[in-house]
Amino acid sequence: MKQQIEQRFAQNIARVKNLVNIYRNQLAGAGKGRRGHQTTDVLRAATVLLHASLEDVLRSLAYWKLPAAPPAELDKVPLVGDKALKFTLGALATHRGKTIDEVIKESTDASLERSSYNNPSDVMTLLEAIGLKKVPLEPYMATLNLAMKRRHQIVHRADANPSPKPGRGNHRVASISPSNLDDWMRNTEQFVQAVLAQV
């Protein structure tokens, strides 16, 4: 499973790098100065895909490891087909003939279908739930937070500049550069390596 996660992440991060290379080689043009948002939108797409690549790693780890988590962590997962964390024997009766392991796996899988990891706190909560040590991962959190906030701004606000002032040099869409993506990609790759080193 670890090898599959590594391979899928490598494929996904290659897609992100490809988008950045398309910007550099085909869209950036010559000379200095800010490029228009239509030109830099490929970098915004790369930011969203980078986040999706990270979420795929996290969700894959959760599908793999969460069913074997300690009881205190499993207490946070509702029974499959139910929303409440506490359930009756009647709710359990619908799972007759299944092993306990099967019910736990189905329940954790159903819970993960609705999961998302939008900030470092969400990420650390998951990684601690599956038994990973957080100290080796802390150095990556600040840059991960920057990338996640920017992805949120892109997805939920179309990357609108928070306070555009009228006049020359002020833009309705926030600036983004390939160097931003380079930093975020490098940090994400190192973070994923540090995570997978613990499993």
The pTM is what? 0.85
- As a whole number, mean pLDDT of residues 113-131 equals 91
Element (H, E) at 69: none
CA 129/CA 124 separation, integer angstroms: 8
Residue 134: inside a domain, yes or no?
A: yes
Helices (H), ranges, the chain: 2-22, 37-65, 71-74, 89-93, 100-112, 120-129, 141-157, 178-196
Residue 17: inside a domain, yes or no?
A: yes
Residues 6+ apart with CB under 8 A from 87: 78, 79
Question: How many domains are there within the chain?
Answer: 1
Surface-to-core class of residue 125, CB atoms within 10 Å of its CB (0-12 exposed, 13-18 middle, 19+ buried): middle
Q: Please, which residues bridge with residue 106 across strands?
A: none
Its domain, for residue 187, covers 2-69+117-196
pLDDT for residue 34: 63
Residue 44: inside a domain, yes or no?
A: yes
pLDDT for residue 60: 94
pLDDT tens figures, 57-74:
999 999 999 999 889 888
Residue 181: inside a domain, yes or no?
A: yes
Whether residue 46 contacts residue 16, with contact meaning beta carbons closer than 8 Å, is answered with yes
Residue 90: inside a domain, yes or no?
A: no
Residue 85: inside a domain, yes or no?
A: no
Task: Give the residue, 104 or 163, on which the prediction is more confident.
Answer: 104
Confidence of residue 37 (pLDDT cuts 50, 70, 90): low
